[in-house]
Structure 1
């Protein structure tokens, strides 16, 4: 990970970005952090295509690595959560163990800065499944220098997006991506980048104006034995690195 030099401006309070069809999209505040992590462990760790392919949920060290990353980036206060209308927290009121939120979806986000001091990312973690996925994501990221290509010194990046199975098909993923654009405008972040690993999120990204910079078939990535590193990725054929500039 990088030592981050960016922090949310003190004059930018938590905000509700959308309220539609029984869904509220809002900033993740500190009282929501542990609830969001539990949600992402339950759904993102299991259902995200790469995680599913490497059976990440069966590797306790890899689950611990995910928790470490989310605990690192959530305090930067750029992550988003979808709550059920009427749920605790849906009007920005505090939540707690005795007053828990009903989370329908979440998008954990961070800000990368050109001035960040880089470290050897994967060396900090111990989970074999996590490292396998992280190695691919790092390889895809290295194909583009976002700072140089767009002439920016910081941008919003994603560290996982997931929607609860019972809430899928309701447009929540699209609402989260749209809210991400609004968040960037509010915080004067010039663009957002994501590596989209699932066909569903790739289609949503196209709807909100993401530009595909890299599109690589999963079958291209093979081990020394010639076997595909990430089998059973259907219906998703490829991994995409995409960017959305913020006018």
Structure 2
């Protein structure tokens, strides 16, 4: 049973999950933490995703600081993934340093949620943009209880994803999602979930990565008791999906 304060078992050392199209996908180890956080700070909040376009966290210094704190607290769980260019530092699990930095082309920051464990993400936040993002997440969580739906006590969830745009042509998104399933299998985690606002990647997840759609909502459908849209900033985007993959 997963317990509060879960961390990766010592019996499951860091590993490489795939090598494909010049890309290596592997675990994020402690020597990579600062590089991963810096990569995410420089790219995640400034990308072209619907969330970044609508809530504009890149224009909110408090939200950027909040993301940095959350990622710093999450990475020690050792369930996050990094994509590197083949043949560059640490692509064979060798350690990196400031004088020998990695070439990061994609990151998937992941966290393990345990039943009965209260999320502290929202309470840690000061930024207006990140509060809106987690407000959206919390609302969706109120619509689908993963623990009850699948009768499980822990699952792997996403808390940030970014890949260098040119690498999308090589299918890096799909590679990282498949590696996530392999990671779950390796660590005996029964399920992984993701919330997605990208229409193209929604189709990829359902059709090619083994994810099933749990919830598909147009943003106009997400309304409060007063009948008004809860997230009017997202009005120009079509829908948001919650997807999951059972690990077998």
After superposition, residues 23-172 of structure 1 pair within 5 angstroms as: 23-47=23-47, 48-116=49-117, 118=118, 121-172=121-172
| Number of aligned residues | 242
Picking from 224, 227, 232, the partner of 1:229 is 232
Structure 1 pair 36–225 and aligned structure 2 pair: CA distance change class (3 A): same
Gaps of 5+ in 1: none
CA distance in structure 2 between the aligned counterparts of 1:105 and 1:5, rounded to whole angstroms: 27
Checking the alignment, whether the CA contact within 8 Å between 2:45 and 2:57 is kept in structure 1 is: yes
Alpha carbon RMSD of aligned pairs, Å? Answer: 1.9
CA distance in structure 2 between the aligned counterparts of 1:33 and 1:157, rounded to whole angstroms: 18
Q: TM-score, normalised by structure 2?
A: 0.91
- Return 237-246 or 196-205, whichever deviates more: 196-205
- Return 98-107 or 211-220, whichever deviates more: 211-220
- Return 178-187 or 48-57, whichever deviates more: 48-57
CA distance in structure 2 between the aligned counterparts of 1:233 and 1:28, rounded to whole angstroms: 35
Gaps of 5+ in 2: none
Structure 1 pair 203–119 and aligned structure 2 pair: CA distance change class (3 A): closer
CA distance in structure 1 between the aligned counterparts of 2:215 and 2:94, rounded to whole angstroms: 41
CA distance in structure 2 between the aligned counterparts of 1:20 and 1:202, rounded to whole angstroms: 22
Partner of 1:213: 214
What's the CA shift for 1:203? 2.0
CA distance in structure 1 between the aligned counterparts of 2:168 and 2:177, rounded to whole angstroms: 15
**Residues 48-78 of structure 1, C-alpha deviations (whole Å, 9 max, x = no match):** 3212212110100000111111111110000
What's the CA shift for 1:119? 5.2
Structure 1 pair 54–205 and aligned structure 2 pair: CA distance change class (3 A): same
Q: TM-score, normalised by structure 1?
A: 0.91
CA distance in structure 2 between the aligned counterparts of 1:226 and 1:246, rounded to whole angstroms: 38
Partner of 2:15: 15
3-state SS of paired residue (1:157): strand
What's the CA shift for 1:96? 1.1
Structure 1 pair 40–232 and aligned structure 2 pair: CA distance change class (3 A): farther
What's the CA shift for 1:233? 4.6
**Residues 80-126 of structure 1, C-alpha deviations (whole Å, 9 max, x = no match):** 0100001101000011111111111110001111142x156423211
CA distance in structure 2 between the aligned counterparts of 1:231 and 1:12, rounded to whole angstroms: 40
